Amino acid sequence: MSMHPDEQAEYLTFAGRLADVASAVTLAHFRGVVDVMNKDATRFDPVTVADLEAERAMRELIRSTYPTHGVLGEEEQRITGTDPFFWVLDPIDGTAAFITGLPLWGTLIALNDGQRPALGVMDQPFTRERFSGDGSYAWLNGKPLRVQPCPALSQAKLMCTTPEMFETSEQWDAFQRVASTARMQRYGGDCYGYCMVAAGHIDAVVEAGLETHDVQALIPIVEGAGGIMTSWTGGDPQHGGAVVASGDARVHEEILRLLNAQG
């Protein structure tokens, strides 16, 4: 579904309002005493009152402003609207970073037009950085973003949030083929790593085990800055799973070849 430029500008402005109401909650808790709960009986998957309250604040603003729109968020039940548009929310992407006082987390906000994420915002209120994109352009605090050219993986800076996100030994082995070829590899970052690809500081992110709310806001930012974001097989990444984001098509193709090599 194509969106009129005026409509797109309106929704990007509104996404900024959503980021503002979320940041009022998250900054009140960041580096404070935060109650941490575990969402998963088999592993540590933290959630805090800041996650819950920030998502609730964003949902209430969507409900009062665009009542026909749907909402898909990390912490509460999905709402299906009468309009094809739906907002995809992750109030704190990088909760582990949040509870350890590291500013490598962000609030993710995407508007999906019913077919794809049409625009996205990653807001880091502590560092006062707001990344946004519409798939054609991307910005950091209103200034244009552009990926950095990189001719080969052997010259690339690679990031991944944690080795724990690889669900099988085959995935881990595939990631290692990429990491061992790259010039350097760092762990950490969550959503921040993808924005560093868009800003030209990192050349690629390779991850797995992602959810829809982890990726939808990042796709329009990475692509808007001239980068590429796909699944490990080169398909649509918008539903999460195993994902690659690269600033240069040459590096992206090399990563996909290594990920899908046998043995």
Q: Residues 97, 99, 102, 106: is their CA dihedral positive or negative?
A: positive
130: phi then psi, degrees, rounded to nearest 5: -125, 110
- Residues, the chain, total? 263
Q: Sort 41 into a burial class: Cβ within 10 Å, 0-12 / 13-18 / 19+.
A: exposed
Quote the pLDDT of residue 86.
97
Given a cut of 90, is residue 4 above it in pLDDT? no
Tally Cβ neighbours within 10 Å of residue 42. 6
Residue 49 has which token pair?
């009152």
Given a cut of 70, is residue 176 above it in pLDDT? yes
Mean pLDDT within 136-145: 97
Q: Could you tell me which of 261, 256, 253 has the C-alpha nearest to residue 243?
A: 256
Whether residue 196 is found in the same domain as residue 136: no
Residue 122 has which token pair?
């990653």
Distance CA 194, CA 90 (A): 15
Residue 223 has which token pair?
């692509």
Whether residue 96 is found in the same domain as residue 10: yes
Whether residue 212 is found in the same domain as residue 93: no
Angle made by CA atoms 221, 260, 164, in degrees to the nearest 5: 65
Whether residue 14 is found in the same domain as residue 140: yes
What CATH code is carried by the domain that includes residue 203?
A: 3.40.190.80
Whether residue 134 is found in the same domain as residue 172: no
What is the extent of the structural domain holding 182? 153-259
Whether residue 175 is found in the same domain as residue 130: no
Any idea which of 77-91, 109-123, 135-149, 152-166 has the lowest mean pLDDT?
77-91
Whether residue 45 is found in the same domain as residue 116: yes
- Answer for the pair 179, 185: CB distance below 8 angstroms, yes or no: yes
End-of-domain residue from the set 126, 144, 162:
144
For residue 15, give the amino acid letter. A
Whether residue 182 is found in the same domain as residue 95: no
- In the DSSP assignment, the letter for residue 148 is P
Q: Sort 181 into a burial class: Cβ within 10 Å, 0-12 / 13-18 / 19+.
A: middle
Quote the pLDDT of residue 106.
97
End-of-domain residue from the set 144, 175, 197:
144
Residue 24 makes CB contacts below 8 A (sequence gap 6+) with 57
Number of domains in the chain: 2
Given a cut of 60, is residue 263 above it in pLDDT? no
Whether residue 76 is found in the same domain as residue 120: yes
Whether residue 131 is found in the same domain as residue 173: no
Whether residue 28 is found in the same domain as residue 140: yes
Distance CA 166, CA 207 (A): 7
Mean pLDDT within 31-43: 66
Q: How confident is the model at residue 5 (pLDDT cuts 50, 70, 90)?
A: confident
End-of-domain residue from the set 98, 113, 144:
144
Mean pLDDT within 57-65: 97
Whether residue 162 is found in the same domain as residue 67: no
Q: What mean pLDDT value characterizes the chain?
A: 93
Radius of gyration of the chain from its Cα atoms, rounded to whole angstroms? 18
Distance CA 257, CA 263 (A): 12
Q: How confident is the model at residue 131 (pLDDT cuts 50, 70, 90)?
A: very high
Quote the pLDDT of residue 46.
65
